[in-house]
Structure 1
């Protein structure tokens, strides 16, 4: 199995959303990552990033949320363009796993019309709730006609230990991570927003956009356990780590 790290866009937000002690006017630039897993049984895409249209007019898609989450990436910084550099098109993707249904993690779902969508059952329930818009769930990003499969517990996706979906609730009700085991480069945890930044993990700092801090702390403790056991944690939005990662055609194997 090969693992390709792809850009899903870049965002600028208030720094105190992620590190509450930061000065009120400070901002932080956040990479948005998508991960392609090329397995003999099929191509799996973990998260789909921001919709390309948000680069030009984020308010048209995101409404008021665009004031808090400002796209700063270029027009080619999206997962569809990233796949093209690998010689792949959206129809080559068999499965999309959404860590959760916030717009920077499922914004390009609509392009993957051949794929089956996997998510946690509690995440789908939250996205369908009466207060979903207020909680950051925008139907244009997640509500599409492709078949959707929900999970509730840990799942060995291919049955060979290469990809295990792991519930990591707290940021949202149904946040999912994924443990990827590669023959050459070892074990990785795709943590998404269960831990957005290295500092959130090391200091156990809860971002302001955490749905349930107690559940989030439990997920952080599980991630700490995995890291101590030798798993490399890939954070949801850590700029320093992003600069160090191999990306695009330079795959992990």
Structure 2
């Protein structure tokens, strides 16, 4: 498993924690995960599109005022993937944890891949109010084949990469439980756990679609962690700084 930098954002802290000063801002890492499996190269999320580093409003519209990119195009996913020795045509599967712009922005680059996404998430991205809910069609609506799943999907049927529906942040929010030989069980939580603090203090960030469902999903994630899974959060900068990235990997 390679942890790949895929952008960086500046946002108001109060978007996540209602108790924070309304003007306080902080930076959030955006990541993608390359999973090398005997049956193919898999990406879990694809981060921000490189173009938003120079003109976020052109692609994201008003969303660019909420999520401000603070990275260069050279720091987007394609360069990170190259550092791991692969190009866009080497990816066989792109898993979408959900379809917000900072998680699927580079999907269009992986023309040889099959996209895997939860059915509830696809419905949310196609809904009439999708734009207001943070979905940008330019980031997710592409011609590659899509494999949809409802609740759970064992991607290759061997328990190595299992997708779990963890709704709350969005209707189709999904995590990946990855089983590595030495590291053991890893839960790629994405925005089911955006920041570690929300898991520790048991609160739903303000940018949550359904707080009750999110709290239930976090309770399940705590059970998985108690059973030994390593939880990697969606945008926690303190955790991010401890991770091996790029060419280094976990096995």
Give the TM bin, normalised by the shorter chain: over 0.9
* TM superposition shift of 1:143: 0.2
What SS does the aligned partner of 1:49 have? coil
Tell me the CA shift for residue 75 of structure 1. Answer: 2.4
Q: What is aligned with 1:203?
A: 201
- Identify the residue that residue 87 of structure 1 maps to in structure 2: 85
In 2, distance between residues paired with 1:138 and 1:163?
27
2:7–2:75 contact (8 Å) kept in structure 1: yes
Give the secondary structure class of the aligned counterpart of 1:81.
Answer: helix
Report the equivalent of 1:45. 43
Structure 1 residue 74: Cα displacement = 2.3
* SS of residue in 2 equivalent to 1:16: helix
> What is the SS of the residue equivalent to 1:76?
helix
Cross-structure match for 1:162: 160
Q: What is the match of residue 229 of structure 1?
A: 227
| Counterparts of 2:11 and 2:215, CA distance in 1 | 23
Decide which of 182, 185, 210 is 1:212's aligned counterpart.
210
1:156 positional shift: 1.4
TM-score by length of 1: 0.98
Question: Where do 1:31-180 residues align within 5 Å?
Answer: 31-180=29-178
Match of residue 236 from structure 2: 238
Distance across 2 between alignment mates of 1:70 and 1:159: 39
Please state whether the residue corresponding to 1:33 is helix, strand or coil.
Answer: strand
Mapped partners of 2:250, 2:30: distance in 1? 18
* Runs (5+) with no aligned partner, structure 1: none
Structure-2-length-normalised TM-score: 0.99
The one of 191, 194, 198 aligned to 1:193: 191
1:247 to 222, 245, 248: 245
CA distance in 2, matches of 1:225, 1:32: 25
For the residue of structure 1 that corresponds to 2:74, the secondary structure is coil
Task: Number of aligned residue pairs: give it.
Answer: 251
- Distance, in Å, in 1 between the alignment partners of 2:74 and 2:202 is 34
Aligned to 2:179: 181
Does structure 1 conserve the Cα–Cα contact (< 8 Å) formed by 2:119 and 2:149?
Answer: yes
Distance (Å, rounded) in 2 between the aligned partners of 1:157 and 1:63: 34
Q: How far apart are the structure 2 equivalents of 1:86 and 1:14?
A: 32
Structure 1 residue ranges, 4+ long, deviating more than 2 angstroms after superposition? none
What CA deviation, in whole Å up to 9, does each residue of 1:149-191 have, x standing for no partner?
Answer: 1100212111111111010100000001000110011111000
Query: Which of 6, 15, 18 is the matching residue for 1:17?
Result: 15
